[in-house]
Amino acid sequence: MASITAGIDIGASATKVAILDREGSLLGSCIRRSGVDFAGSAEIGFGEALKQAGLEASQVGQVFSCGYGRKNVAFATDSRTEIACHAAGAYHHFPRALTVVDIGGQDNKVIKLDEKGARVSFKMNRKCAAGTGAFLEEMALRLDLDLARFNQMAQDAKEEATLGAFCTVFTATEVLGKIRQGVPVEALIRGLFASVLKRVSEMDTLDNTVVMTGGVVAHNPYLKHMLADKLGREVLSPPRPQLTGAEGAALLAMRNS
């Protein structure tokens, strides 16, 4: 078994790199925009993670890639699906029967694992951007707000606006209409968060221990508290939600070495 492996998760929005030791501890990592050059982003991200870990590339055994751009990592020794990697990453932190909810930039995933970490089922939403990170980015543009403010604004809201539309375009029109009606912006942001969670909840039943992963949750942790209130029980997240897929890729590389 290799003593050090790496995982590279290239999403449509962000590239994530994780370097792990044999015990699964994180030695170095990097999160950066994927941009239009996935191969270049992977190389730069890997270099930054190596620098943080104080390692040379030759000291890393296998490198597994996953995600939207996994075939663009020329130096990867192999690749795995993002479903497998997110499952492995989540189970590493919470070894029990899980329902993994990953909210990404372009899609959502609900992955169910049994007590041994074997995948039972998965659902993926690729038909529409509504309910994803791209949905929130579009709403931020329409509202002329910094997306980084959304989490605090949702948390500070005294009420939650009810939004009926699901399509991103129609939701934007509905939100603008509510602004004209005088609905507080904070209430609208919390309503947008509720819309994201509603889309996820309709994908599959959220039973067992629910673990939320992905960049959207990493930047908007209040979503986890809202889902916990909705379910009436605790919802967990790994220490680094956005790195879950990359960590899982590195763990699968470790098992393969």
Report the pLDDT value the prediction gives residue 174, as an integer from 0 to 100: 81
Q: 136 to each of 16, 23, 52, how far by Cα in Å? A: 20, 36, 31
Domains and CATH numbers, the chain: 4-85+243-256 (3.30.420.40), 96-237 (3.30.420.40)
What is the DSSP annotation of the chain? --SEEEEEEE-SSEEEEEEEETT--EEEEEEEE-TT-HHHHHHHHHHHHHHHHT--GGG---EEEESTTGGG-TT-SEE--HHHHHHHHHHHHS-SSEEEEEE-SS-EEEEEE-TTS-EEEEEEE-S-STTSHHHHHHHHHHHT--GGGHHHHHHH-SS-------SHHHHHHHHHHHHHTT--HHHHHHHHHHHHHHHHHTTS---SEEEEESHHHHH-THHHHHHHHHHTS-EE--SSGGGHHHHHHHHHHHHH-
Strand partners, 79: 65
Q: How many residues does the chain have?
A: 257
The pTM of the full predicted model, rounded to 2 decimals, is 0.91
Residues 25, 121: Cα–Cα separation, whole Å: 28
- Burial zone of 223 (CB within 10 Å; 0-12 exposed, 13-18 middle, 19+ buried): buried
Residues 81, 124: Cα–Cα separation, whole Å: 13
Produce one character per residue of 34-54: b if its CB has 16 or more CB atoms within 10 Å, e if not.
beeebeebbbbbbebbbeebe
* SS3 assignment for 162-177: CCCCCCHHHHHHHHHH
Report the pLDDT value the prediction gives residue 126, as an integer from 0 to 100: 61
Nearest to 46 by CA among 78, 4, 16, 81: 16
Q: How far is CA 52 from the centre of its chain?
A: 22
Residues 38, 84: Cα–Cα separation, whole Å: 21
Nearest to 30 by CA among 51, 4, 13: 51
Local confidence pLDDT in tens for the 257 residues of the chain:
569 999 999 998 899 999 999 999 999 999 999 999 999 999 999 999 999 999 999 999 999 999 989 999 999 999 999 999 999 999 999 999 999 999 988 788 999 999 999 999 999 886 666 677 888 888 898 888 999 999 999 999 999 988 875 666 667 778 888 888 888 999 999 999 998 898 889 899 999 999 999 999 999 999 999 999 999 999 999 999 999 999 999 999 999 87
